[in-house]
Chains A and B, each alone.
Chain A
Amino acid sequence: MSKLGNIGARLHRGEVGYDFVGNRKIWYGISILITITAILGLAVRGLNMGIEFQGGAVLTTPKTSVSVAQAETYAQDASGHTAVVQKLGTGGLRIQIAGVDTGKSDQVKDTLAKDLNVGSDKINADLVGPSWGQQIADKAWEGLAIFMVLVVIYLAIAFEWRMAVAALVALVHDITITTGIYALVGFEVTPGTVIGLLTILGYSLYDTVVVFDSLKEQTKDLTKQTRWTYSDVANRSINSTLVRSINTTVVALLPVAGLLFIGGGVLGAGMLNDISLSLFVGLAAGAYSSIFIATPLVADLKEREPQMKALRKRVLAKRAQAAAGEELVAARADDGSGAGDPEDAAPAVVGQRSQPASRGRGRGRPSGKRR
């Protein structure tokens, strides 16, 4: 902890840090690449929609000695449709038969029970009409749309429209990536997946909102100083909430990992597994996007404001002026922080920030003079 705590402290003080905003182009590029891959995956491979969306029956049997291939034959004979059979961790079988309608499926179940030599009442049956999955999906899209509109309105009021836009972009980004991964890997999409996906909405934004909250707080009186540009402050916001972001993501992922382990490892397949899988993918994407996409995007949008442009000009002018005088100090500070953070990409900013606290007193005066 002490190491992490130290990094936390140094992140907090800005001694170390990664220039998220400065390197945003790289991350935008990576995200666009991932997104394009995801969209391509969706377009080419498509989603592997589960039985729940096509209509059909999913039968789960208790432990049985019948082999998978044998069960497949039985199921096909009984139903007249193609059946997919999986062996579960419990020793039972999961038999999926597409295209059986809900009326006929009882008969199929009884026949199968006889063939597999298990009691009909011991077989779990999930019979889904073809329109039900569609209805769930439609409703989910509807919910998604309503939620997005509400969230944009809310964020625009609580923060500002730029942040709302950035949050929305991050959200769409997360969902595209998650569905893209589903398409590429070929995971089956079930109502459980949809649930997981919808939860990502809340979570992804939750993460983004925390960073934005810190950003809003730190940029409150930004135009009244000339030391930092908006991007600098945005960058520091990300860095100072980085520990929290990591902690939150870890803490959120741990229970989900537990679910995934139990759902996938012990139960075989099922709703627990489906929910946790999409959550796992989505949470990771959400943590990434709130740090690498949402905040730099806000900075980008903000820097287009005339006010911020003017500020940037003033800050740059001042830096150029101070550069000569502070070069020595900056160089020294660089050495100090460089060891802790070799990948730091913005030495100038870091160098200034890492100066001793007493420097802050000097800071008030010049800006005061300017005003």
Chain B
Amino acid sequence: MSWPSARPSGAGRPEREYEKVAAPKKGRSAGAQSRPGRSLALILIAIAALTGGMFASGHTTPRLGIDLAGGTSITLTAVNEPGQPNAINKTNMDTAVEIMNRRVNGLGVSETEVQTQGDRNIIVNIPRGTNSKEARAQVGTTAKLYFRPVIQRDVSGTGASTTPSASPSTGSGAGSGASPSPSSSAKANGKQKATSGSASPTASATSQGRAVTDALKAGSPSPSAAGSASAKTSAKPSAKAPGGASPSASGAPADAAGKLQAQYAALDCSKPEQRATAGKGAKPGEPTVACGKDGKVWTKFLLGPVAVDGTEVNKAQAAYDTQSAAGWQVQMTFNSSGTKKFADITSQLARKTTPQNEFAIVLDDEVVSHPYVQTPITGGNAEISGSFSQQDAQSLANMLSYGALPLTFKESSVTTVTAALGGEQLQAGLVAGAIGLALVVIYLVVYYRGLSVIAVASLMVSASLTYVIMALLGPTIHFALNLPAVCGAIVAIGITADSFIVYFERVRDEIREGRSLRPAVERAWPRARRTILVSDFVSFLAAAVLFIVTVGKVQGFAFTLGLTTLLDVVVVFLFTKPLLTLLARRKFYASGHRWSGLDPKRLGAKPPLRRTRRPSAPVETKEA
């Protein structure tokens, strides 16, 4: 490639470097006896392992994006609320995603996917077959977080679970765990209850060293009086008597209260369709019914009017209580109006008995926690403790924060793709890919002849690796193949093929210098390698920058491009080069057969150098 006139002499200065490269060639080619085989084995094993993994995981096809599989994709962009310029940050966005995930998947569709994208967008992908309108409505509205006093609650669903929950909790206070407790785990709460419950709750809390004013207990307090127990047992058949008093006491008209009671009695929270509608559209000022999950058991609630609005929570965080070793707890701070309201409600609740000393934290009409109040909390700081795991505490804190999340979301784009079009686009993408690949293969075959076997094999290896990795990335990092990603893969055919072209051209240049194939292959490699690395790096850099910076469909494209660029390097190093080294030993290639694509004569090689071992005479006779 460099100065042709100087090359044969080997005496020119600039050549020295290559002479150096060439010098250890003997050792190298000796090493190459084992090395190419090893590299080939490595990559074949890797492919086999990945393919095995793919079949083992059961995801044999890449997950398809909404535009190929059909469905609805909603992009929501966060907007700062006035006066809150710095509200768009990772924590808030993650909280919002968590909330939205709860909402859409609460519809009974576990396939719906909510993820952040970029720094201010949330993508909601709803697969086809789901009620996309409802899902859209769900993510479109702002989450509502309320604190409501609990009037009555029951384990919902089978009557069997109602009865056992009542008797142990009244009797021993051992809290078998069936008694409804909030999102924190039921069993653990049972234990906690047992210690604090059998004695007077307030006293036990104090003895645990926590400030009395701040003490709240998450979970259903089992030290319930007989009254609550009877309420539980009687709730199913006729709940009107004990509950009816409370709503009317809180000011609701008697007939409305009666209706609500009927609603409550009929409510079965173990049924998803009932859950979905329970308490929907409840006005903050009126009592309502709601469902909540305690451990694995659904509980239904009859709740009073909203006492504190979620927006009045300034801050909520999960913290580990090192002082009393009570484990994870959630600390929250109210703003001034919230503080006052919270003080009012807690002083009312603290005087009551279970479950009426509890308040429910209601997020989107679902009770996420219902701690009981031991003493009035007037300072505006409250702790919810129970036997939270770190995750539970974190999640509850997030939900509480969401009420204070100074973000609103705006629909930036909504794409609905029917299954028909999705399939059509997928097919078009595949056909385009096939056409592209075929054209490239034809071109390579025509131009490189025998060498194209290597190029085509490498392309196939690259393609199969890409496919398998995409299939595996579906379940692991939620990679979904969308249309831009398909385009990226098709474009990558060119980039991958180019690596072979760079290498082959180098090899041919070496042959033109008069070298025989095997040294040519080895000498061309270091230089081709550098070119490939440098150019692939630039390509990868572009993909990486695009992936990090951009949003939307650009990202899928950048991801595929980056992935295939990386795979290109892997394939060239571990497959193409070793394969060429191996094939260079075969007579067909080494002798420069006219169909091998390496025929020195056709390449216009110079007369062989003195170091050429293989006489070129037979080749020429074959030619003639």
Q: Which single residue of chain A is at the shortest CB-CB distance from B73? A: A126
B17 located at the interface, meaning its Cβ lies under 8 Å from any Cβ of chain A in the complex:
yes
State whether B487 touches A271 (Cβ < 8 A). Answer: yes
A14 touching B483 in the complex, CB below 8 Å, given contacts A1-B449, A360-B9: no
Q: Which single residue of chain B is at the shortest CB-CB distance from A90? A: B424
Contacts of B436 in A (CB 8 A): 254-259
B5 located at the interface, meaning its Cβ lies under 8 Å from any Cβ of chain A in the complex:
yes
Q: Which single residue of chain B is at the shortest CB-CB distance from A150? A: B541
The 8 A CB mask of A215-252 against B (1 = contact, 0 = none) is: 00110110011001000000000001101100110111
Contacts of A1 in B (CB 8 A): 446-447, 449, 602
B41 located at the interface, meaning its Cβ lies under 8 Å from any Cβ of chain A in the complex:
no
Q: Which of B22-30, B241-249, B529-537 contacts A (4 or more CB under 8 A)?
A: B529-537
| Distance of A275 Cα from B425 Cα, bound (Å) | 14
A248 touching B553 in the complex, CB below 8 Å, given contacts A256-B436, A267-B428: no
State whether A255 touches B418 (Cβ < 8 A). Answer: no
Interface of B, helix, strand, loop or mixed by DSSP: helix
A357 touching B8 in the complex, CB below 8 Å, given contacts A139-B550, A270-B425: yes
CB distance from A350 to the nearest CB of B (A): 13
State whether A192 touches B512 (Cβ < 8 A). Answer: no
A247 touching B541 in the complex, CB below 8 Å, given contacts A124-B418, A128-B412, A198-B554: no
A218 touching B418 in the complex, CB below 8 Å, given contacts A270-B425, A360-B8, A364-B12: no
State whether B554 touches A275 (Cβ < 8 A). Answer: no
State whether B530 touches A248 (Cβ < 8 A). Answer: no
State whether A254 touches B432 (Cβ < 8 A). Answer: no
Q: Which of A20-28, A66-74, A203-211, A314-322 contacts B (4 or more CB under 8 A)?
A: A203-211
Contacts of B431 in A (CB 8 A): 262, 266
Contacts of A275 in B (CB 8 A): 484, 487, 557
B618 located at the interface, meaning its Cβ lies under 8 Å from any Cβ of chain A in the complex:
no
A255 touching B491 in the complex, CB below 8 Å, given contacts A5-B604, A122-B418: yes
Which residues from chain A sit less than 8 Å from chain B, CB to CB?
A: 1-2, 4-6, 8-10, 12-14, 52, 60, 62, 90, 102-103, 105-106, 121-129, 131-132, 135-136, 139-140, 142-143, 146-147, 150-151, 154, 158, 191-192, 194-195, 198-199, 201-203, 205-206, 209-210, 213-214, 217-218, 220-221, 224-225, 228, 240-241, 243-244, 247-248, 250-259, 261-263, 266-267, 270-272, 275-276, 279, 353, 355, 357, 359-361, 363-364
How many A-B pairs have beta carbons closer than 8 Å: the answer is: 310
Q: List, sorted by A's number, 12 A–B pairs whose CB atoms are closer than 8 Å.
A: A8-B604, A105-B414, A125-B415, A126-B416, A135-B412, A199-B561, A209-B538, A210-B535, A250-B443, A255-B435, A258-B436, A271-B487
CB distance from B550 to the nearest CB of A (A): 5
Q: Which 3 A-B pairs have the closest CB atoms?
A: A255-B436, A9-B604, A202-B542
Sample of 18 more A-B contacts, CB < 8 Å, known A258-B439, A258-B490 = A6-B602, A9-B604, A13-B4, A143-B550, A158-B534, A198-B550, A199-B542, A205-B539, A206-B498, A209-B535, A210-B502, A214-B1, A224-B14, A258-B434, A267-B424, A361-B11, A363-B9, A363-B12
A255 touching B539 in the complex, CB below 8 Å, given contacts A9-B604, A271-B553: no
CB distance from A105 to the nearest CB of B (A): 7
| Distance of A217 Cα from B553 Cα, bound (Å) | 39
CB distance from A167 to the nearest CB of B (A): 9
CB distance from A106 to the nearest CB of B (A): 7
Contacts of A279 in B (CB 8 A): 491
| Distance of A105 Cα from B133 Cα, bound (Å) | 12
CB distance from A173 to the nearest CB of B (A): 17
B407 located at the interface, meaning its Cβ lies under 8 Å from any Cβ of chain A in the complex:
no
Contacts of B545 in A (CB 8 A): 143, 146-147, 150
CB distance from A123 to the nearest CB of B (A): 7
State whether B411 touches A262 (Cβ < 8 A). Answer: no
CB distance from A240 to the nearest CB of B (A): 6
CB distance from B623 to the nearest CB of A (A): 11
| Distance of A12 Cα from B2 Cα, bound (Å) | 9
Q: Which single residue of chain A is at the shortest CB-CB distance from B594? A: A2
B605 located at the interface, meaning its Cβ lies under 8 Å from any Cβ of chain A in the complex:
yes
B440 located at the interface, meaning its Cβ lies under 8 Å from any Cβ of chain A in the complex:
yes
State whether B6 touches A8 (Cβ < 8 A). Answer: no
State whether A4 touches B447 (Cβ < 8 A). Answer: yes
Q: Which single residue of chain A is at the shortest CB-CB distance from B542? A: A202
A272 touching B432 in the complex, CB below 8 Å, given contacts A360-B5, A361-B11: yes
B236 located at the interface, meaning its Cβ lies under 8 Å from any Cβ of chain A in the complex:
no
